[in-house]
Amino acid sequence: MQQWRCCVLIPTYNNEKTLARVLKDVLRYTSNILVVNDGATDGTPQILAEFHEIDVFHLEKNQGKGKALKTGFKEALKKGYQYAITMDSDGQHFAEDIPVFLDALETETTKNVLYIGARNMAQADVPGKSSFGNKFSNFWFWFETGTWLRDTQCGYRLYPLKEIEKLSLYTPKFEFEIEVIVKASWKGTLVKNVPVKILYDDVDRVSHFRTVPDFTRISILNTWFVLVTIFYIKPRDFFRKIKKKGVKKFLLNDVLGSNDSPAKKAGSIALGVFIGLSPFWGLHTLLVLFLSFLLKLNKPIAFAFSNVSLPPFIPFIILASLQTGSCFLGESFTLSMDSINENFDFLIHLKAYLLGSLVLAILGAVLFGGIGYLTLTFFGKRKMAVNNG
């Protein structure tokens, strides 16, 4: 604990039956303990007064676990700590698992890491709602960050305090523990699980998680994060990847050099072009990511080719779609680029546009997918021939 300048941070609210036991348990391992009393109305202040060796911070009224944790992070930084291991005060966490976090940190290649305790959710005393909520949270964390974890809801964690200080964190209650790991991952912090034990059947354990209101708050937060992921994070990461590698290297490594078969790569190209030319404006990123996941295609390739509808090309795509649709419907009209840009007269030809854009999307997918397949097959055979001498 001293080597890593690490403390144990315990937010508490009305857990007078288990608090003293938890503190005594932790004191067997370290005296670097910070407790944030989140406006408790029971005997918590009197219990804390008996532990002179720990640092205690009192909030005048109950504001939520998120607020208590943010207060604790701030105070821990003031005291010079670099990491904080957070524990709940309801007795469900075991202090003997503290070394698990430190041992993992000792061997980690990066010190910008956030560890989350991974509970055995299959053990008999785990409530059904906790197991469901964890699976729900794990899925959305994966969607939002690309990282799959076994447990995203456990409060037993190790936080890198200086990295957490850089984040803009707003939520005050239980949803804070989702907000902080998603935003930390978006900023480049490695988020991982470490195995910990859990106790659920303690008769003295009191949980303040309110199923309906707190689950609703978490769902609203995840909805917002999904939107941010689709319209900002995924495009940002993709263009950062291209910028870091360079277009040539990206094409060689991620397209030509991928281990996927030519057919799978070509299918990814076709999907990307189809979505990019389709009339589902505003949903292109969501659709291409969802369908590439569903069809088990190459997501970077599909996303790259979906950007065929970049803003400079949109008027030309619309015009080509209208012309194509009109040909199929046997209609005739005159429409200039100026009318598209200025007064959107093309909306009166919506039927022709929708039909034309779908036809154009199919033709574009077949054309680009076919060219991609032939090209990738050719390069694949050439590479094989070179490797075989």
Amino acid at 251: L
Provide mean pLDDT across the span 223-233: 88
pLDDT: is 60 or 347 the higher one? 60
Does residue 93 register a pLDDT over 90? yes
Question: What is the percentage of the chain residues whose pLDDT exceeds 70?
Answer: 83
| Span of 132-136, 183-187, 188-192, 363-367 with lowest mean pLDDT | 132-136
The strand ranges marked E within the chain are 6-12, 33-38, 55-59, 83-86, 113-118, 157-160, 190-195
Compute the mean pLDDT over every residue in the chain, rounded to the nearest whole number.
Answer: 85
Q: What is the DSSP string of 335-384?
A: --HHHHHHT-GGGGGHHHHHHHHHHHHHHHHHHHHHHHHHHHHHHHHHHH
pLDDT in tens, 282-320: 788 888 888 887 888 888 888 888 888 766 677 788 888
Q: State the Cα–Cα distance between residues 160 and 77, nearest whole angstrom.
A: 10
- Protein fold of 2-232: Spore Coat Polysaccharide Biosynthesis Protein SpsA; Chain A (3.90.550)
- Could you count the other beta carbons within 10 Å of the beta carbon of residue 342? 9
Question: What is the percentage of the chain residues whose pLDDT exceeds 90?
Answer: 49
Provide mean pLDDT across the span 239-255: 70
12 neighbors 35 (Cβ within 8 angstroms): yes
Residue 352 is predicted with a pLDDT of 80
173 neighbors 210 (Cβ within 8 angstroms): no
pLDDT in tens, 119-171: 886 664 565 556 677 888 899 999 899 899 999 999 999 999 999 999 999 99
Residue 388 is predicted with a pLDDT of 53
Task: Tell me how far CA of residue 66 lies from CA of 12, 135, 224, 358, in angstroms.
Answer: 11, 21, 18, 47
Grade residue 195 by pLDDT with cuts at 50, 70 and 90. very high
**Token pair 């984040």 in the structure block, residue:** 167
How many residues are present in the chain? 389
Domains of the chain, residue spans: 2-232, 248-387
pLDDT: is 362 or 126 the higher one? 362
Does residue 101 register a pLDDT over 60? yes
Grade residue 343 by pLDDT with cuts at 50, 70 and 90. very low
Q: Strand pairing of 6-12 and 83-86?
A: parallel
353 neighbors 326 (Cβ within 8 angstroms): no
pLDDT in tens, 63-79: 999 999 999 999 999 99
3-class secondary structure, 218: helix
Across 82-86, 210-214, 337-341, 376-380, the highest mean pLDDT is recorded for 82-86
